[in-house]
Structure 1
Amino acid sequence: MAIGVLDNGWLDSARKCLSPHFNQRPEGEVSLLVVHNISLPAGCFGLPHIDGLFQGCLDIDADDSFAELAGLQVSAHFLIRRDGEVVQYVSCDDRAWHAGVSSFNDRSGCNDFAIGIEMEGTDSSGYTDEQYQQLTLLTLVLMAQYPMITLANIVGHCDIAPGRKTDPGDSFDWLRYKQAILTATT
């Protein structure tokens, strides 16, 4: 089963929800895939607030916890919702603002060379079969388009910002995810 194709950095099958929080990548390659998690409010799923956050129009009065997000300029390339819906906010050819202060293999500023995928969830909530299926399919499309993304270059936010970030959390099944990629590519 295919998820779609990339055209100018846009996945044709994804729901587009354009974010203003991006800029041009510096010269160089796309060589890293970073898996994150997000839920707004924390632990609540299926609500429109993630789109609002990434589009810069989050209603901070919708929940008391949103006050700390006022003025935050953040985005990701993709979100995979609990039901498997894939949403795209930024072209993969552009730099989304998902990693923050980060480094990978002694190279800082991961946003410059990474694609960020948010999984709707929390560190402890676990993820759905639909999410793993879509993440695997999306990863295969990204690996085909950006061959420097290899299994060794697929990490969690916690790996590039240790001590600052913990996502995608202990509930993320790395073995399941990477085994599915291996199975599909061999």
Structure 2
Amino acid sequence: MANAPDTPAAKQLFSALPAIGADGWLPSGPGVLHRPSPNHDARPNAEDPYLLVIHNISLPPGVFQGNCIIDFFQNCLDINADPWFENIRDVHVSAHFLIRRDGAIVQFVPTVLRAWHAGVSVFEGREHCNDFSIGIELEGADTVPYTDAQYARLDQLADVIRTRHPIRAVQGHQHIAPGRKTDPGEAFDWARFWGRR
């Protein structure tokens, strides 16, 4: 939690996260929202995920405010709100979690189910990473530094996920879909993330 803002609200926001339940949901509370997405399905053979995938997203690109990401993952984005949204008119995706710029966490899909976050992907020679991974989106862009709050929350969230699931590897979307995806991009400080583990 180093570098978290020193305010009463931030102290509440950055309190320890509770354990993920048997149902795959992180209990809602201060700084944790549930916004269920329809864009998920069952994991093949009810496989326990072992890969954590880190992404970034901003909608429109480079805009870090509002609820467009949430609306997009819930299939209710107003396509007419920005011309760029035509590019994603018929796209149906999700992630398990979103960490906003202020460190707030939004959960869309329980970790025991398959979120549609990785697309065409491969890890250790195995394709279809959605089958065996958990996806975390950081509100951001490839070349914009992530916030201290996001690193603090990512650290906490990774720990509670590892307590619930046998996570043995962490990859960026760029690593499992090279040439197709670039996130979380050059702005993500992998040394800082691993240094907190």
TM-score range, shorter-chain basis?
over 0.9
Report 1:36-185 matches (<5 A).
36-147=55-166, 149-150=167-168, 153-181=169-197
What one-letter code is carried by the residue in structure 2 that aligns with 1:6? I
- Say whether 1:24 aligns with 2:25: no
Which stretches in structure 1 are left out of the alignment for 5+ residues? Answer: 182-186
The CA deviation string for residues 34-78 of structure 1, in whole angstroms up to 9 with x for no partner, is 000000010000211001100001100000000011121100000
Confirm whether residue 11 of structure 1 aligns to residue 11 of structure 2.
no
Query: Is contact 2:19–2:164 with CA below 8 Å preserved after alignment?
Result: no
C-alpha distance in 2, partners of 1:44/1:170? 18
> Percent sequence identity over matched residues?
51
1:95-124: CA deviations, max 9, x gaps? 000000000000000000000000000000
Hey, which bits of structure 1, 4+ residues long, moved more than 2 A? none
What amino acid does structure 1 have at the position aligned with 2:187? S
| Distance in 2 between residues matched to 1:162 and 1:5, nearest whole Å | 33
TM-score by length of 2: 0.89
Contact 2:143–2:185, Cα closer than 8 Å, also in 1: yes
Please list every run of 5 or more consecutive structure 2 residues that lacks an aligned counterpart in the other structure: 1-14
Counterpart of 1:21, as a letter, is N
Distance in 1 (CA, whole Å) between partners of 2:104 and 2:57 is 14
What is the CA RMSD across the aligned residues, in angstroms? 0.8
Give SS of 2:38's match: coil
Partner letter of residue 189 of structure 2? D
Give the residue type in structure 1 aligned to 2:179.
G
Distance 2:81 2:194 in 1: 37
TM-score, length-scaled by structure 1 = 0.94
TM-fit CA distance, 1:159: 0.4
Partner amino acid for 2:26? L
